[in-house]
Amino acid sequence: MQPSDSLREQMIAQYDAMSPQLQQAARYVLEHPEEVALVSMREVARLAGVQPATMTRLAKFLGLPGYDELRAHYAAALRQGGDGFAAKVRQRVDGGSETVASDIAIHMLQGLSAQLAKLCEPDSLRRLEATADRLRSARKVYVLGLRSSHAIAWHFHYVMTLLGERSVHLDGPGGTGGDALIRATPEDVMLVISIKPYATGTLELAQLAKEKGVGIVSITDSEVSPLVALSEQAIFCPTESDSFFHTLTPALAVSEVLCSLLAEFDRPKTLEALQQADDHLSHLNTWRSPTLSATLGQ
């Protein structure tokens, strides 16, 4: 709204060329941009003390097809101000004409970029930190994520394995995934990852764990996710995408941040663990070329 608001600048520049009524309308719009976005044209006109038609005339004077475009302009500005950056994901390309592949790709990537930026909000950060704390205090960390969330769960577990031996991935062939919970205790914590639609298996296992006194923390997609009721801590990450599928990219980012916070907490221990892992994997000829510890990640 503030920077490079072309309409705003145009109104200021052409203000002197306007008729008195137009000036009055423009002045009100300049001083109350939110109202333009939030209330009807007639109401804005009433507040500005001009005729409704004057608002239409103002829009046309500015070179717009009609008042709707003026409103749309200020609505877009409010969206960005309102919730930070995140608003790019909406509005499919309705340009009627055939959409090119690179258009789709750009929209997706920019949307994802905005969603990650939104995770920087104070509330999200607090949740990230609280969740990391809770995980840190656990004796063992059970990681649960079924179906699409499996990728996230697996990755979290993989990284945690490089860091130590506290992580247990609840997954396995023949439906034995939940067996590892047999010896779970209240000293343990379970990290559950699930987004809509929520897999029943995930909820059942989490419920079971909770009944055994295991603390639950979760990565999920909404305040009204069924996981919230089970969890001591929850991190919410957006999953909307303009494609057919929900996106897991923000969830993976959250998982990586959690891993980092856990690793950073005790740097010496982390470095030692990574060195160990490096030695081990080197002996197995895992990597194509010699690898520094600092390069770990695969």
Partner DNA sequence: ATTTAAATGATTTATTTGTTGCAAACATCT
Partner DNA sequence: AGATGTTTGCAACAAATAAATCATTTAAAT
Closest CA to 55 of 67, 39, 43, 72: 67
29 is a contact residue toward DNA (CB under 7 A): no
CB of 87 to a second copy, least distance (A): 7
21 is a contact residue toward DNA (CB under 7 A): yes
Q: Which is nearer to a second copy, 88 or 140 (CB)?
A: 88
CB of 2 to DNA, least distance (A): 25
Residue pair 116/250 in contact (Cβ under 8 Å)? The answer is: yes
Give CA–CA dist 155/289, Å, rounded: 23
Q: Is the dihedral of CA 43, 44, 45, 46 positive or negative?
A: positive
Residue 35, burial from CB neighbour count under 10 angstroms (0-12, 13-18, 19+): middle
User: Site for DNA (CB under 7 A): which residue of 11, 22, 77, 189?
Assistant: 22
Only one of the segments 26-34, 39-47, 85-93, 211-219 lies at the binding site for DNA (rule: CB under 7 A); that segment is 39-47
* Cα-to-chain-centroid distance, residue 262: 20
* Cα-to-chain-centroid distance, residue 63: 37
The option from DNA, a second copy, none interacting with 40 (CB < 5 to 8 A, set by class) reads DNA
Give CA–CA dist 232/217, Å, rounded: 6
User: Site for DNA (CB under 7 A): which residue of 56, 131, 194, 233?
Assistant: 56
The option from a second copy, DNA, none interacting with 93 (CB < 5 to 8 A, set by class) reads none
Q: Which is nearer to a second copy, 47 or 183 (CB)?
A: 47
Residue pair 296/160 in contact (Cβ under 8 Å)? The answer is: no
User: Site for DNA (CB under 7 A): which residue of 7, 29, 59, 274?
Assistant: 59
User: Which residues bind to DNA, rule: CB under 7 A?
Assistant: 19-22, 40-43, 50-57, 59-60, 65-68, 71
